[in-house]
Structure 1
Amino acid sequence: MLIDLKPTITQALQSNAALASLLGRDDLGDVKVYPEQSPNVEKPYVTYFELSNFDNKFANDKAISSSIHFQVDVWSNGNTYPIAQAVDETMCELGFFRRAARDFNENEKGIYHKVLRYSKTHIGG
């Protein structure tokens, strides 16, 4: 059973008031949260994508749950921690658990980049 959680994640992250305050809005008035990659917007912003999505439990030859993994990237001109914390709260509220968090050194570009990886087992359709 293939589950599409992208709309749910987008809506939840954009609805987080703390995150909206930290990120601001783009020219369309949307909180700067984007699946896969951002349009040409100023930092800070958040991007995310699905790493994997596979059936993991079966009953009567039919999938009854899926294991779903997402990566969320925080892009900023400074400290990523407040944004990452707001993202983490939202993802945990959606039933994900954080499997990893890592800072990437992109000082030569003047970018602060934090990667957060999440997993969830989704039961049912």
Structure 2
Amino acid sequence: MMHAEIRTALQTLNVPVTFHLYEGSDDTYITYVQYDESGQMMADDEEKSTNLYFQINVFSKSDYLSLVKDVKEKMKELGAIRRSETDLFADGYYQRSIRFRFTQYNE
């Protein structure tokens, strides 16, 4: 459910956005992936709400702190709770991986 909403929100940041793997050549881009899903609240033997866990990865060859801030703001607007984030460097790219939790209420 959240995939389309996440993609749409991130595309407003004017950098390439792709699910899981980016195959372009831009100096800055964003990938996202859902890494977990679990029942959050149960009642009457039914799952009333579900937690969806996504990781947003910001890659850049230069300063990306402003973009990271914008990503966090976009996810907050969608109702996400930030769980953790970490910095990495590989293949000439700085990478900030940010993990979020969304709670989906089931009918």
Q: State the TM-score, normalizing by the size of structure 2.
A: 0.91
Question: Residues of 2 paired with 1:12 and 1:40: CA distance?
Answer: 20
Q: Pairwise mapping of residues 91-102 of structure 1 onto structure 2 (< 5 A)? A: 91-102=75-86
Which residue is equivalent to 1:82? 66
Which residue is equivalent to 2:28? 44
C-alpha displacement of 1:123: 1.3
Matched, 1:116 2:98: yes
Which residue is equivalent to 2:5? 8
Which structure features the higher share of strand residues?
2
Structure 1: give runs of 5+ residues left out of the alignment.
24-31
Q: Give the match's secondary structure for 1:91.
A: helix
Question: Residues of 1 paired with 2:103 and 2:60: CA distance?
Answer: 30
Question: Residues of 1 paired with 2:5 and 2:89: CA distance?
Answer: 30
Q: Give the match's secondary structure for 1:42.
A: coil
Structure 2: give runs of 5+ residues left out of the alignment.
none
Query: Which of structure 1's runs of 4+ aligned residues deviate more than 6 A?
Result: none
- % same residue: 27
C-alpha displacement of 1:11: 1.1
Question: Residues of 1 paired with 2:19 and 2:33: CA distance?
Answer: 6
Amino acid at match of 2:48: I
Amino acid at match of 1:113: Q
Amino acid at match of 1:119: R
Amino acid at match of 2:7: T
Question: Residues of 1 paired with 2:84 and 2:61: CA distance?
Answer: 22
Q: Give the match's secondary structure for 2:6.
A: helix
